[in-house]
Structure 1
Amino acid sequence: MNSLKLKVELEQLYVLNEFISKHYPNKDIALNLVVEEIFVNIVNYSNAEYIIVNIESENYLSIEFVDNGIQFDPTLKEDPETPKSLDEAQIGGLGILLAKNYADEITYTYENGENHLKVIKKVE
């Protein structure tokens, strides 16, 4: 497993993307969106002091986000109603749904004062 500790700042998204690309070089736009959504939500809403990202890549890609912010389990969040058209779409609220739909598995635990959100994607 490879790990990276990040400051809780939006500018760190670039560092995170480079870290993931180094260990999983496939250009996957959906994966980038999921990573960005999770990271930005932690930065904007968690009040965390740090974010640790653990990555494993074998027959699957596992990206775990660990932070010491406010306890929040996004897997329990009810899926919003999806808009019927772009005109009806509103900004925000669909990121967790995107992550749930893209990932093969998402797990959450809260241990020792830390949120652990793991996104697992099967890869070839």
Structure 2
Amino acid sequence: MNKLTVPAKIENLQKVMDFLGDQLDSVDYVMKARLQLELSIEEAYVNIVNYAYGLEEGEVIICCNVGESPLKVTMQFIDYGKQYNPLENEDPDISLSAEEKEIGGLGIFLIKKNVDDISYKYRDGKNILTIQKKLNDF
């Protein structure tokens, strides 16, 4: 797996997206699948930046592996922030109007709808969120 470590700051989002782009430079993919993956990666990173460390500073380690048969990207987000499993929350009720909806939860819901697999574990003081997406299946 290739690895990128950045301070958990919103201004590093472009570095994260460039890292993903670098991993995909040499492969052929379905553009819709890549866009879904990019949305999911952005949501995951922004959630870590906004919630993992509170007012303290920290870092995010992003690991990426591109498998070829089928073409599948696995991305792991690792942080040392407070333990939090975003997959334990109930999905928001998207049938409600904007005024009726509670704040929060939509980002993880979008990730779940746009990737093939998402998992979470807490190990050795680390939150580890793993996202997998096939890029040539549509």
Q: TM-score, normalization: structure 1?
A: 0.89
Identity over aligned pairs, percent: 35
Unaligned runs of 5+ residues in structure 1 are none
Query: Corresponding residue for 1:10?
Result: 10
Q: Larger deviation: 11-20 or 91-100?
A: 91-100
Cα distance in structure 1, aligned partners of 2:115 and 2:19: 19
Cα distance in structure 1, aligned partners of 2:113 and 2:103: 18
Match of 2:62 among 53, 70, 73: 53
Q: Quick check: 1:44 aligned with 2:50?
A: yes
Q: Which has the larger radius of gyration?
A: 2
Q: Larger deviation: 106-115 or 78-87?
A: 78-87
Match of 2:35 among 6, 15, 29: 29
C-alpha RMSD of matched pairs (Å): 2.0
| Displaced runs of 4 or more, over 6 A | 86-91
Shift of 1:29: 2.1
Unaligned runs of 5+ residues in structure 2 are none
Q: TM-score, normalization: structure 2?
A: 0.81
Shift of 1:76: 1.1
Cα distance in structure 2, aligned partners of 1:38 and 1:74: 10
